[in-house]
Structure 1
Amino acid sequence: MVSLPEELEAREAAARRRVEELRSEIAELTLRLEAAQEDLSRWEITRETVTKVLAELSAAEPDAEAKAPVEPELKSPPHGAGVVMVPPWREGLAATVLPDVYRDIMEVLADAPGPLQAKQIVPRIGLPATAGKIEGTRAKLKRLVERGWLIENAPGRFALARRDAGIDPLNPR
């Protein structure tokens, strides 16, 4: 006969396993959502660029007033789908939960001898060193600082937030 404490322990263990399974599913869905949002962003930028180029070409024609394309109403990207793409850092949480580009940033900073600026990180993660890519990366760095993954020990200079010398934030324990 099973005792009540043993039965409670068994049920608690089953609940704990289910929580871990759900956390794993959330991490996978988070990665998929990040990729889908990046794809959506690229399509929106492409559409906006084509609309702008067509408008400029039409303006250059003599009868531009009659042929100017009507610019479609631009939809703003969805705000907050209820998913935190960069979770706040907590004890035991590894950088593997972060979206790919954030993990790349963390790896670059882990390999760096000291703090780096966004313009130094961009080429190391495989992006062209354009103003837009640098500013986008700077925004990601600031987000990582806000969530406790990085520190900004001087304005514009980022480094890993090392809470414990024995813990590698890029690899789980």
Structure 2
Amino acid sequence: MGSLFEELEAREAAARVLAEELEAELAEVAAKLKLARESLERLRIARETVAEVLAEMTPGKSVAVTGAGQPTAGEPVASAYAGAERQVIGVLTVPNWQPGIGPELLPSVYRDILEVVADAPGPVRAKQIVPRIGLPAETGKIEGTRAKLKRLVEWGWLDEDTPGMFTLARRRGGVSTNSR
């Protein structure tokens, strides 16, 4: 059996090793905590910025955009939208129809829908459009397409004289679908 002092020294050495291990773990956790806090702060700033931008983009209000696609601080700048009103769909903006605006500014699914409506001999229903744009004729796909058709009517690209029957908006005399 060793002396009491040797036993105390052994216990002290073991406690020192344990303390050093715990300090290393603490440093690692502190570094992870710092990264998590930085990420949280970036996300908070992004959320606040998006909320501010969306609050400023009310329907019926034009938003000026620079050539690089960045909003300006109030001074009008020529853009691809040429002063068209835009409505927010998530973070995607779609222009209302105005003279001089072509379907190339619309997302591809909306262009496809316009092309099918333009090629139809008369008014079409959503369930007739769905297979022609490459979707299965399922209830969910039909309802989603019907919602898109209603949006196109709201934005002035289509007309719906009879509920559920869609045609190109007559005031333009047609849509050029060759600009894809």
TM-score w.r.t. the length of structure 1 is: 0.51
CA RMSD, Structure 1 to Structure 2 (Å): 2.5
Measure the CA separation in 2 of the matches of 1:132 and 1:125: 14
Q: Which runs of 5+ in 2 are unaligned?
A: 1-64, 70-78, 82-88
Matched, 1:170 2:177: yes
Measure the CA separation in 1 of the matches of 2:176 and 2:161: 18
> 1 or 2, which has the higher strand percentage?
2
Matched, 1:117 2:125: yes
Residue-by-residue CA offset, 1:119-165 (whole Å, 9 max, x unaligned): 00000111000000000000000000010000101000001102233
RCO comparison, higher one (Cα < 8 Å, 6+): 1
- Number of corresponding residues: 99
Measure the CA separation in 1 of the matches of 2:176 and 2:158: 10
Question: How many percent of aligned residue pairs carry the same amino acid?
Answer: 60
Between structure 1 and structure 2, the one with the greater Rg is 2
Secondary structure of the 1:159 match is strand
- 1:89 is matched by which residue type in structure 2? W
Q: Which runs of 5+ in 1 are unaligned?
A: 1-17, 26-78
TM-score w.r.t. the length of structure 2 is: 0.49
Measure the CA separation in 1 of the matches of 2:166 and 2:109: 16
CA contact (8 A) 2:103 2:175 kept: no
- Residues 27-38 of structure 1 correspond to what in structure 2 (within 5 A)? none
CA contact (8 A) 1:117 1:156 kept: yes
